[in-house]
Each structure stands twice: as structure tokens, then as C-alpha cells.
Structure 1
């Protein structure tokens, strides 16, 4: 059956996410230091991680809502520092806004736009991400027909919800779709569970962790069109 739709994970599939996250965390921290003194100065990376884990334990309902989880963490940091409910809520929104500006300033892999332009002439392209990156705020925006975030559907990959959302929107059968992602569990196992073809984006040259491998493996997005042709050929 012909492949009609390609869905992509975003972070570490179309770009290296770490530089953007580091800038985003620093922008958020700078806002807090300037506008909410006493909130974060005493935290290092380890203690802040422990604080986040505690927030998560108390708010498991935010497991698939990374933006709301960050807002809750920011709010609680300010409340503990003695700020009022109103100040903490407003501060959380402002600090998160600073974070998001840098979070969306991703640098796509060098070959990404060329490959996406080639694929967009042959397939419908969609984005499926557990994070809060917005493909429509990147240079790749024009090539994508749709995008779903875990926050939109209330469940993160490998849960089937985002994959099902893509099927419902496009009206195609699972065998008409190929999913491309870097995470063996979230992307490959998740997509396979609903009947998608799968391509593992292994830019880091990692060993497959075990279990049934992806249908195809690539180390660079330039290899993707040939991988898709190979899948279509059977």
C-alpha cells in the first residue's frame, strides 16, 4: 500500500534540542533573578531537579502537559519564596514566556529544509511531539500540514493517541503512514503499535536497545527519501 503521510518527531529528529533548552533555561533563570529575587538563587541543577520531581509526584495529572507542569513548578518556587498567589501566577507566566522564546529558536539540522521540501511535494507531512516545540515557529513551518502535541491530546507517545489523531485528521489507513523519530520506545514502538511504518533517526550512532527494530534506520535526514522509497517498494 502506498505511503501517503509522513509524521515526524521533532526534538533530536529534525534538530538537536539541547542548545535551545540550555538557552531557554538560562532565559527563564535570568527573568526570575531580576524580577523574583529569592526564588531560585539557592538552587543548583540537582536541587532544582529534586524540586521538579516533587512537583510531579504531587501533580501526576500534568504528566502529559509539559507546559502546564513548568508553569506549576515556577508558581510553586515563587510561593515558597514568599510571593503572593497573584505574584506567583503572573511571574510563572512571564518566566515561562521567556523560556518559550528560546525554546522555539531551534536550529534545524543542515539538511532538514532541503529534505522536507523534497518530501512535501510527495507526501503530507505532520509533527507529533511529546514536547512543547511548535513546528510552525520554525523555518520548516511551510512544509507541514498538521501538528499534534501531547498537550493537545492528553497523552504522550508511545500512547496511541497522537498517532490516532493523525489518522483521523488525514483519513488514511495506518499502512499509509510512516513515522520518523529518534526514540526507540516513544517513536518506534509507539508508531508500530498502531500499524505505522517506522524509520529510526539515529543521528548519534547508538546501538538499538533491543526488541523489534524499526523498519528502516537512518543516520542523516538525507537518507530518508531513499528509506521511504525502499519501504514503498515492499
Structure 2
């Protein structure tokens, strides 16, 4: 079999991330309002984003560590409000735990579990994400063999580090792996850069912006098994 492994981006590839993020942000804000009064009441969405960017500028080492960046932001919000370091540190961890619980309460695309079950019977499946979602804390986890997060490998896609991690773990050659993702730069160009095949998940029908086109394009995960099969068929010797 010419294709042995399929790797997936997660957010907006297996689920729409926005509803989960909105719930997570709301839960985190409610925790702060209740347990750390004064830390967030004066911030709206725009000022909170500006505050987070300020934290990132002061801590560029956290650029690929989205969880640590959020915890640091929560810590500094409390410090700014007059809380002591120990209390702010404890509050940051507890508020982040509240956020992360809702972050993992994702609603997979309607067809995702059926498709993953089908693919898992034929290929090894892995997750490669720039975000902080743990695939094994979702309903899809049972179908996956491995997962890498940018914050674990220290670099975000399209950097090759996560793709190389998948290659090293599986022992598969790049041409025996298909990467599936929604982001033309992070997923498609990144995977192409290490020699993997690619499938672009494009549910809204966006035009291809340029650069090397993906091997296949789909607008629904139900089309993924046949897309992978056609990539394999195109590789088969005459």
C-alpha cells in the first residue's frame, strides 16, 4: 500500500473551532469575574487582545506555546489588578483549566467519526496541530495513533518540525503520508515542504491563493477516503 499514514490538522479540519473557543473564553471570563475581581472587568475583546499581544512581545519564547502564553496572560492580568504572585499564579492555572475543559468540548463535523473509523481500519492516523487541543480528549481520540502539538515540538506549522516528528515516529517515508488540513500555508505548504502528499479541506469553497496546489481538494470529510485512495492509485506502478 503506497499510503500508510494520514495526519490531520484539527481546528477547522475535523471541527469548527469557533463555538468551542467562544464557550471557553466565556467560561474563563466568568471564573475571573467570580474569583479574581478586578482582573478583567475593564477589558473588552479589543483591549484584551492588545494586552495579550503585549505579553507575547515581552515573552517571544512563548510564540509556539499557546497554552503557556495564555497562562502567562492570565497571570499578568491578575498582577496588574494587584494580586500577589502566588495568588496570581494559582489563579492563572485554575482559570486556564476552566478554559481548557471547554476548549475540548468540540463538536466534530457530522461525518467525522464515521470517516475516521473507516480510515483507521486502513491507515495509521495522527494529529498535527498549532493549537492546544488534545485529540485524545475528544470523541475522535480512539481512532488516532499519535498526536503532536506545536508547543510540544517547539515550532508551529509550516515549520517542518511537526512533520518530521510524524516521520520519525511512524518510520514512514514522506511519500507514504497524506496530510489533511484547512490552512494553505500551515498545512499544505508545510507538508509539501517535507515531501508529503496533501489534501486541502476547503468547506467554504475558497479559491486557491497560489503556490503549489494540493494533491486533492475536498469540501466535506466524506470525500476524504476516495481522495486518499486516488492519491495512492496515482502512485501505483503501471
- Interval containing the TM-score (normalised by the shorter chain): over 0.9
- Other-structure match for 1:13: 13
Unaligned runs of 5+ in 2: none
- Other-structure match for 2:139: 139
Secondary structure at the aligned position of 2:188 is classed as: helix
CA shift digits 1:36-72 (9 cap, x unpaired): 0000000000101111111111111000000000000
- 2:205 is the counterpart of 1:205: yes
- Other-structure match for 1:164: 164
Secondary structure at the aligned position of 1:233 is classed as: helix
Structure 2: distance between partners of 1:209 and 1:91: 43
- Residues 55-66 of structure 1 aligned to structure 2 (within 5 Å): 55-66=55-66
Secondary structure at the aligned position of 2:102 is classed as: helix
How many residue pairs get aligned? The number is 234
Structure 2: distance between partners of 1:155 and 1:182: 18
- Other-structure match for 1:129: 129
Structure 1: distance between partners of 2:91 and 2:206: 40
- Residues 17-96 of structure 1 aligned to structure 2 (within 5 Å): 17-96=17-96
Give the aligned CA root-mean-square deviation in angstroms. 0.7
Structure 2: distance between partners of 1:175 and 1:210: 22
Structure 2: distance between partners of 1:207 and 1:63: 29
Structure 2: distance between partners of 1:139 and 1:45: 30
- Other-structure match for 1:106: 106
Unaligned runs of 5+ in 1: none
* Deviation >2 Å, runs of 4+: none
Q: Displacement, 1:29?
A: 0.1
TM-score (norm 1): 0.99
CA shift digits 1:97-149 (9 cap, x unpaired): 00000000000000000000000010000000000001001111110000000
- 2:217 is the counterpart of 1:217: yes
Structure 2: distance between partners of 1:136 and 1:49: 29
